[in-house]
Amino acid sequence: MIQIPTLTSARLTLRPPTQADFPALADFYASDRSKFVGGPMTAEQTWRALACEIGHWPLRGYGRWSIDISDTSEFIGIIGLWNPHGWPEPELGWDLMQNATGKGYATEAALAARDYAYTTLGWTTLTSLVKPENTKSAAVATRMGACHDGDFDHERHGLLNIYRHPAPVSVPENLQ
- Chain positions contacting another protein, by CB under 8 A: 1-4, 16-19, 22, 43-44, 46-48, 50-63, 84-86, 121, 155-156
| Other C-beta atoms lying within 10 Å of the C-beta of residue 22 | 15
Q: Which is nearer to another protein, 52 or 167 (CB)?
A: 52
Q: Which is nearer to another protein, 23 or 132 (CB)?
A: 23
Q: Which is nearer to another protein, 5 or 104 (CB)?
A: 5
Rounded to the nearest whole angstrom, what is the least distance from the CB of residue 78 to another protein in the complex? 13
CB contact burial 37-52 (16+ within 10 A = b; e otherwise): bbbebeeeebbebbee
Rounded to the nearest whole angstrom, what is the least distance from the CB of residue 76 to another protein in the complex? 20
| Other C-beta atoms lying within 10 Å of the C-beta of residue 132 | 13
Rounded to the nearest whole angstrom, what is the least distance from the CB of residue 42 to another protein in the complex? 8
- Intra-chain end-to-end CA distance of the chain, in Å: 31
Rounded to the nearest whole angstrom, what is the least distance from the CB of residue 126 to another protein in the complex? 16
Q: Which is nearer to another protein, 30 or 43 (CB)?
A: 43
Distance of CA 36 to the CA centre of its chain: 12
Do 14 and 112 form a contact (C-beta atoms < 8 A)? yes
| Distance from C-alpha of 46 to C-alpha of 10, rounded to nearest angstrom | 29
Q: Which is nearer to another protein, 84 or 150 (CB)?
A: 84
| Distance from C-alpha of 14 to C-alpha of 80, rounded to nearest angstrom | 9
The amino acid that residue 48 corresponds to is: R
Rounded to the nearest whole angstrom, what is the least distance from the CB of residue 62 to another protein in the complex? 7
Give the H/E segment covering residue 14.
strand 12-15
